[in-house]
Structure 1
Amino acid sequence: MADQLHLTVKRCLERYRFFSLKQPLVVAVSTGVDSMTLLHVLGSLLSADQLVVAHVNHHLRAQSQQEEQFLRQQCQQMGVRLYVDQWENHPQHGIENAARQERYRFFAKVMHETKAAYLLTAHHENDLAETMLMKLLRTGDATATVGIREARPFANGQLLRPLLRVTKKSLVEYARVHQLKWYEDATNQEDMTLRNRVRHHYLPEWERENPRVVDHLLKFHDQLTELLTMKDDIVSQLMTRIVHNGQLDITSYQQQVPVIRHCLLYRWVNDQGMFALQEQRSHQIDQFLCNQQSPSSTMMISNDLQLIKNYQQAELKKVQNLPTKNQKVSDFMVKFDHWYTRPAGDQWGIFSHPQERTIAELWLTGGQLPLRVRTWRPTDRIRLKSGHHQAIRRVLINQKVPLNQRQQQLVVVDRFDQVLWLIGHKTTWLDRQQVRNQRYEKRYFCQK
């Protein structure tokens, strides 16, 4: 049994190439039988400089100080480094989840300080079965129901669980054979938490129906993991074709079947570190993206996150980074015979003589000067050759200007605030009018 446990842990480290690196690993130790057994096995496999112990004193039980002192003595005897976190600021509610967050925050800090590439925890086979039942009860989500995986990215390295296919019974037997000392957490016998209720009541009830229920849960875990891995591979291949520089190609997205679209949405949102997408929200976003009657629109998908659909592309942006309708991008007087550069890199100017890239010639009177540049407004219109007027908003829509760029469009206006030029898109139509005592000058509107 001892040899088998050593071999199990060693093979896990070999699978993830620990022995080829010259970095230490961090092992999380609570002083319970599981983690004390793992520490003992690692102590026989690794040298002292390869091993770092991390312990969180939760200050929730009277024996917490005793456990910490015991572990300090153990690490001193082994000659390994020990890092201890003192967690004393407890929330009034959700203490179990808060404790877990504190532990992993501390473990990540220790990995960073010691330049460790791996964090090892002592989760075992029974933990896996319990977690699967808990996730099934709480979420019904297939990805969550997989439960605990042997490895996952964590901090600046990986989190490994080498005991995931070892039973609790085997760990206790190993500890007794090697006369290891450990501490039992008295709260583990209480039914205050869901895990304890699953451990003491729900799972034993299932085992009375079928003693092999844990084996069946593990088999289900393996099959579900394989299916999810296959799904992830398919989605990864599609993402390279559908997402470019963080933007979603709407046409390619709409060509996918609904189940694939859901997977693509989930990956797209999470890859940008935005938030975990809920199923109901996913369906709402999918309908929004597939609505061909509204090719350019926006949708708030959280308090600070906006989904922007611009005809063929969609992107996610934080609200605070978006310009508001009343935000002034520019407001200045135009200097003739001078080139101005826009953020996109192109240039524009109004000249007294024709230039290589003249796009319009307008007759202006002295009374219309000075000309000014500002951001467009919802009431702005531009004069057409027919004498009618067209709203600037309609010009931008017709020319398929992306919604997130419309708010920053600039217009050139005269002294009377009449729009002469929607820069980069369209000029007004002004004929030279024969008015007595009125002097006209031709100006050349240019862009390059």
Structure 2
Amino acid sequence: MEATFRQFKNKVESWPSWEECQTIVLAISGGVDSMVLLHLMIELVQLNEYKDRQLVVAHFNHRLRSPEIHDKEQTLVVETAKKHDLVYFVSKWESPSKSNIEANARQARYQFLADVLDASQGDCLMTAHHLDDAVETMFMRMVRGTSLKGLTGIRDNYQRVMKATNNGVTVTALMRPLINFRKADLYRYAKAHQIRYYEDESNQETEYLRNRIRQQYLPQIELENPQFYNNLFAMQQQLTSSYQAHYETYMKEEPILLAKLEAKRWALDVEKWRNLSYEFREVFLTIFFEERFIEVAGQYDKEAINHLLDQILNTENPNYRFNLAPGWVSRREYNYIFIEPEERKLPQLSDYRVDLSSNNKWFSLGNGLWIGLFNRAFVNNQMRKAVDDFLALDLSGFKRTPAFHIRHRQDGDLIELNSSKGSYHKKISRILIDDKIPSSLRDRIWLIVNDDNEVIWMIGHQSSSKYQPQKPENITHYLLVQKMY
């Protein structure tokens, strides 16, 4: 058994998940990496202990180069699969994107691979990523800027969650058995075994950052230390272990730190986040963004984590918001921070008004909420118990019943209150702050106001001393509030 095959076999067998793999889907492009992978796997399943394993070939055309080249690659892959009596699937990218090409192409490719796994009932997926790929990817991410998770780079064996064309979710073991091989080793192996492959000519074009890193930057660094690739990959594996340890710790703490309110909304407990050390706050927020937020938002500004840290620690302004990412906001309301999609601007509520134009009649405030001014004789004990809220009034000093209307708060609103020193006026805005009413709810609170624009009642919160009965027998009217549905 030659050294390359032995190293490959040992790598595959080192993964416990390999024991569960009966049907293995191979992502084969037609390049040297994937054609060597295909050759090695064909050799492996010919061994007696693995003759029950089935290989499935999956080829995806990204349509980013000339049709002639893609046709040649596909023909090579299909002919090789037929030669060895392998099941194969081919597909193409129907609508190649004009921007963010690498990420979108990867997404389209893995969607196709998820379809193949479903169709073939595959147990695991293998790709031909090698050591050069791993180092180039990590280096490229460092140049562009990345997170702790981004520095973990290309993992050699893990459970991958993929979405198929029908939006079904596929979970599979993703294996990269060539991850410890240099690309030069694969060229030598292909030559020694006369393996046909096609070279991607776009790999020579220096307009792509990855190609500049591969052809210009990394060779210079490798001259300083020939072990640079192995050293960087070893560091990458240490970072992967470190991230995994932090992730497992975070998962234990997540139910205490935040709650998922619905599909696209979370509430962070400010006090619980403050109790963490600075280091854990930053690491846990990073993990939240990488493992939770990015799944629904697609991206986020790296500065968003710093803004959120400030929002957690801010003791002077417990109610404010900022843009977290395109279409997303972080909204602090006292002891909680809500991370949610940015809502469209709501209509101005301060101009909305309902006049209580007659007594003993219900008026709708919308959303099933009703209010009315009723004569005392009209209201019995059972009725008072049945409603959600009420306010007793003494209007005996008026020849005509004062006119009341309902509206939302306006700048300068005051309410008359009593104290041991006599009556005084207090701003509605101050009451809302003192009662810690979230800013998002303040403009939605209903106020009962008389024709002099004096606030009589903040429904559900505070009532004025004006019209307040001194004795039960002085009650002449009731304001009743009822949630009908």
Q: Report the counterpart of residue 284 of structure 2 in structure 1.
A: 264
Corresponding position: 1:8 with 2:8: no
Change (3 A) 1:79 1:27: closer
Correspondence for 1:164 among 179, 202, 205: 179
Give the partner amino acid of 1:6.
Answer: K
Corresponding position: 1:423 with 2:459: yes
Q: Report the counterpart of residue 302 of structure 1 in structure 2.
A: 325
Q: Report the counterpart of residue 349 of structure 2 in structure 1.
A: 326
CA distance in 1 between partners of 2:481 and 2:142 (Å): 65
Please give the TM-score of this superposition, normalised by the length of structure 1: 0.81
CA distance in 2 between partners of 1:117 and 1:404 (Å): 49
Deviation, 1:400, is 0.9
Aligned 1:27-42 pairs, distance under 5 A? 27-42=26-41
Deviation, 1:382, is 2.8
SS of the residue corresponding to residue 424 of structure 1 reads: coil
Q: Report the counterpart of residue 368 of structure 1 in structure 2.
A: 402
Aligned 1:198-347 pairs, distance under 5 A? 198-245=213-260, 246-270=266-290, 271-272=292-293, 273-274=296-297, 276-320=299-343, 323=346, 325-326=348-349, 336=360
Corresponding position: 1:53 with 2:73: no
Aligned 1:143-182 pairs, distance under 5 A? 143-150=149-156, 151=158, 153-155=160-162, 156-158=170-172, 159-182=174-197
Question: Runs of 5+ in structure 2 lacking a partner?
Answer: 163-169, 261-265
Change (3 A) 1:311 1:16: farther
Q: Report the counterpart of residue 89 of structure 2 in structure 1.
A: 82
Q: Is the 8 A contact 2:390 2:481 kept in 1?
A: yes
CA distance in 1 between partners of 2:349 and 2:119 (Å): 47
SS of the residue corresponding to residue 178 of structure 2 reads: coil
Give the partner amino acid of 2:314.
Answer: N
CA distance in 1 between partners of 2:355 and 2:171 (Å): 53
Deviation, 1:284, is 2.5
Correspondence for 2:142 among 131, 136, 140: 136
1:219-273 Cα shifts (integer Å, max 9, x gaps): 2112222222222233333323222343211122223332222223223344243
Deviation, 1:425, is 0.8
Q: Is the 8 A contact 2:28 2:57 kept in 1?
A: no
Q: Is the 8 A contact 1:298 1:308 kept in 2?
A: yes
Deviation, 1:122, is 0.7
Deviation, 1:32, is 0.6
Change (3 A) 1:318 1:379: farther
Q: Report the counterpart of residue 436 of structure 1 in structure 2.
A: none
Q: Is the 8 A contact 1:368 1:416 kept in 2?
A: no
Q: Is the 8 A contact 1:296 1:309 kept in 2?
A: yes
Change (3 A) 1:280 1:300: closer
Q: Is the 8 A contact 1:424 1:447 kept in 2?
A: no
Q: Is the 8 A contact 2:351 2:407 kept in 1?
A: yes
CA distance in 1 between partners of 2:350 and 2:9 (Å): 65
Change (3 A) 1:277 1:265: farther
1:187-226 Cα shifts (integer Å, max 9, x gaps): 2233332222222232222222222112211221122222
Deviation, 1:82, is 0.9
SS of the residue corresponding to residue 301 of structure 1 reads: strand
Corresponding position: 1:442 with 2:477: yes
Deviation, 1:46, is 7.3
Give the partner amino acid of 1:299.
Answer: F
Correspondence for 1:195 among 210, 214, 225: 210
Q: Report the counterpart of residue 165 of structure 2 in structure 1.
A: none
Q: Is the 8 A contact 1:58 1:99 kept in 2?
A: no
CA distance in 2 between partners of 1:41 and 1:331 (Å): 79
Give the partner amino acid of 1:241.
Answer: I
CA distance in 1 between partners of 2:51 and 2:90 (Å): 18
Question: Runs of 5+ in structure 1 lacking a partner?
Answer: 434-438
Give the partner amino acid of 2:39.
Answer: H
Change (3 A) 1:194 1:337: same
CA distance in 2 between partners of 1:424 and 1:26 (Å): 63
Change (3 A) 1:378 1:74: farther
Q: Is the 8 A contact 2:136 2:210 kept in 1?
A: yes
Deviates more, 1:248-257 or 1:149-158: 149-158
How many equivalent residue pairs? 436
Give the partner amino acid of 1:133.
Answer: F
CA distance in 2 between partners of 1:117 and 1:326 (Å): 57
Q: What is the Cα-based RMSD across aligned positions, in Å?
A: 3.9
Q: Is the 8 A contact 2:370 2:482 kept in 1?
A: yes
CA distance in 2 between partners of 1:182 and 1:335 (Å): 89
Deviation, 1:388, is 3.9
Deviates more, 1:320-329 or 1:156-165: 320-329
Deviates more, 1:297-306 or 1:284-293: 297-306
Deviation, 1:421, is 2.3
Aligned 1:354-365 pairs, distance under 5 A? 354=381, 355-356=384-385, 360-364=391-395
SS of the residue corresponding to residue 81 of structure 1 reads: strand
Give the partner amino acid of 2:161.
Answer: F
CA distance in 2 between partners of 1:114 and 1:416 (Å): 77
Q: Report the counterpart of residue 380 of structure 2 in structure 1.
A: 353
Deviation, 1:31, is 0.1
Give the partner amino acid of 1:148.
Answer: I
Deviates more, 1:188-197 or 1:125-134: 188-197
Change (3 A) 1:96 1:145: same
Deviation, 1:124, is 0.9
Change (3 A) 1:29 1:52: closer
CA distance in 2 between partners of 1:238 and 1:3 (Å): 43
Provide the identity percentage: 24
Aligned 1:107-126 pairs, distance under 5 A? 107-111=113-117, 116=122, 118-126=124-132
